[in-house]
């Protein structure tokens, strides 16, 4: 049987073009349209768009593949506290003006490395602790007050120099003020807002809430941990107020995303004056107050034994003022009553080796503010 070479070539060409067209139709393209590189950024692919692109995708068993490298891309299904999936989260690093082409397949995925984690800690006075592969934090619960231990209004920082999750290990050892080789808790909060907590600011006074009374985990890794803390009603200059704070920490980031909702019985109060604070050490450190861009950075004085912690706050909206008041740096602004407001706060430790001086820390905060203002990640389904 003779085969016509011309016909065979034509058939092969049709097959090739059809395969290319099918592959192109089935890929999702994530592009960096900005003029700066993006490193280890967690992005959201809306689940509704993914399902429309891949209607037969098995939610319980699928994988994502980088078409160029043929490597699997770890992901997380984000629920945001709902019963149904809201987003597929992936972590990407992209040079400027480059793109990542993804293919979703109905195949079992690899085991994912946990990069974020958080939990309620009943064994330690109702702490709530959370971490990622860079840094760790905690806030204090009601049992701290009831146990006669006093109050602590702020966000605590647990420095770390490992990508592994350390919260459970440190609580089990019950010696988290000692460095066992992966970091420790040497950050002091006291009666301040600590590392970037928020509180109402009325009549030249900070009206601290007490510690949180309820908690709820919305998502818990491997790429993003999100949880809610509720604060019981307290007095704010004669008005009754309560609060819900939703805190989210992504893998690879030094910063928490904090969504705050204050509600008061004074219905005529449209805006609530608030402050976001960072505790100031008595020794000499370095700070940067950029009121126009809403960025506050603090590089603490060096601890001879433990190193240096940097703390920072990013405010997306208009800032009224920044000041040093007693033992705190304060960012002053107004947020809407009974509505959600989002800002960012976080920390870094020089011994982790990623950011080792004040210039690098302040630059990181400024670059993150630019990314938040101009998110030039494009997703093509």
CB 44 within 8 A of CB 78: yes
Residue 295 contacts residue 343 (beta carbons within 8 Å): no
The pLDDT value given to residue 375: 83
**CATH 2.70.98 holds for 116-374:** yes
Q: Are strands 183-184 and 195-202 parallel, antiparallel or unpaired?
A: unpaired
Written in H, E and C, the secondary structure of the chain is CCCCHHHHHHHHHHHHHHHHHHHHHCEEEEEECCCCCEEEEEEEEEHHHHHHHCCCCCCCCCEEEECCCCCECCEEEECCCCCCCCEEEEEEEECCCCEEEEEEECCCCCCCCCCEEEEEEHHHCCEEEEEECCCEEEECEHHHHHCCCCCCCCEEEEEECCCCCCHHHHHHHCCCCCCCCCEECCCCCCCCCEEEEEEEEECCEECCCCCECEEEEEEECCCEEEEEEEEEEEEECCEEEEEEEEEEEECCCCEEEEEEEEEECCCCCCEEEEEEEEECCCCCCEEEEECCCCEEEEECCCECCCECEEEEEECCCCCCEEEEECCEEEEEEEEECCCEEEEEEEEEEHHHCCCCCHHHHHHHHHHHHHHHHCCCEEEEC
- Segments of the chain assigned to CATH 2.70.98: 116-374
User: Model confidence over 79-106: pLDDT tens digits?
Assistant: 999 999 999 999 999 999 999 999 999 9
In this structure, the dihedral spanned by the alpha carbons of residues 216, 256, 194 and 347, taken in order and rounded to 10 degrees, is 140
Residue recorded with tokens 């605590």: 156
Q: In which band, very low, low, confident or very high, does the pLDDT at 22 lie, cut at 50, 70 and 90?
A: very low
Does the pLDDT at position 157 exceed 50?
yes
How many Å is the maximal CA-CA distance in the chain? Answer: 97
Give the angle subtended at the CA of 297 by the CAs of 375 and 241, to the nearest 5°.
80
**How many residues belong to the chain?**
381
> Which residues on neighbouring strands pair with residue 42, listed in sequence order?
91
Inter-residue contact 44 to 89 (CB < 8 Å): yes
Q: Do residues 112 and 62 lie in contact, with contact meaning Cβ atoms separated by under 8 Å?
A: no
Rounded CA-CA distance 227/155 in Å is 14
pLDDT the model gives residue 104: 98
User: What's the rounded Cα separation, in Å, for the pair 58 and 105?
Assistant: 9
- Split at pLDDT 50, 70, 90, the class of 145 is confident
The Cβ of residue 24 has, within 10 Å, a number of other Cβ atoms equal to 11
Instruction: Please indicate whether residue 197 or residue 24 has the higher confidence score (pLDDT).
Output: 197
- CATH annotation of 30-112: 2.60.40
Q: What is the pTM for the complete model shown? A: 0.92
Would you say residue 179 has pLDDT above 50?
A: yes
- Kindly report, as residue ranges, where domains of CATH 2.60.40 are found in the chain: 30-112
CB 298 within 8 A of CB 286: yes
How many angstroms separate the CA atoms of 355 and 372, rounded? 20
Using the predicted structure, report yes or no on whether residue 36 has a pLDDT greater than 90: no
The chain-wide mean pLDDT, for the chain, equals: 92
């Amino acid at each position: 049987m003779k085969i016509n070479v011309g016909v065979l070539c034509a058939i092969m060409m049709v097959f090739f073009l059809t395969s290319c067209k099918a592959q192109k139709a089935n890929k999702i393209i994530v592009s960096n349209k900005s003029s700066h590189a993006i490193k280890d950024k967690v992005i959201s692919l809306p689940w509704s768009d993914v399902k429309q692109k891949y209607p037969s995708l098995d939610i319980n068993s699928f994988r994502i593949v980088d078409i160029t490298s043929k490597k699997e891309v770890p992901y997380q299904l984000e629920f945001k506290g709902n019963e149904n999936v809201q987003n597929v989260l992936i972590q990407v690093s992209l040079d400027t003006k480059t793109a990542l082409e993804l293919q979703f397949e109905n195949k079992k995925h690899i085991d994912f490395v946990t990069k974020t984690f958080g939990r309620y800690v009943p064994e330690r006075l109702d702490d709530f602790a959370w971490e990622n592969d860079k840094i760790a934090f905690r806030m204090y619960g009601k049992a701290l007050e009831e146990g006669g231990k006093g109050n602590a209004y702020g966000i605590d920082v647990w420095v770390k120099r490992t990508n592994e999750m350390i919260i459970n290990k440190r609580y089990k050892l019950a010696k988290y003020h000692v460095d066992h080789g992966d970091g420790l808790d040497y950050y002091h909060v006291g009666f301040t807002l600590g590392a970037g907590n928020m509180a109402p600011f009325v009549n030249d006074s900070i009206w601290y809430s007490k510690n949180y009374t309820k908690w709820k985990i919305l998502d818990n890794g491997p790429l993003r941990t999100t949880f809610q803390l509720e604060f019981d009603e307290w007095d704010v200059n004669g008005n009754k107020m309560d609060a819900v704070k939703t805190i989210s920490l992504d893998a690879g980031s030094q910063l928490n995303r904090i969504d705050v909702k204050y509600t008061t019985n004074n219905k005529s109060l449209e805006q609530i004056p608030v402050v976001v604070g960072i505790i100031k050490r008595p020794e000499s450190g370095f700070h940067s107050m950029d009121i126009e861009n809403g960025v506050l950075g603090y590089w603490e004085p060096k601890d001879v034994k433990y190193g240096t912690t940097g703390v920072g706050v990013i405010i997306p909206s208009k800032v009224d003022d920044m000041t040093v008041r007693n033992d705190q740096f304060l960012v002053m602004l107004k947020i809407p009553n009974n509505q959600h407001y989002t800002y960012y706060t976080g920390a870094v430790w020089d011994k982790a080796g990623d950011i080792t001086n004040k210039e690098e820390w302040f630059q990181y905060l400024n670059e993150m503010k630019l990314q938040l203002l101009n998110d030039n990640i494009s997703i093509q389904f």
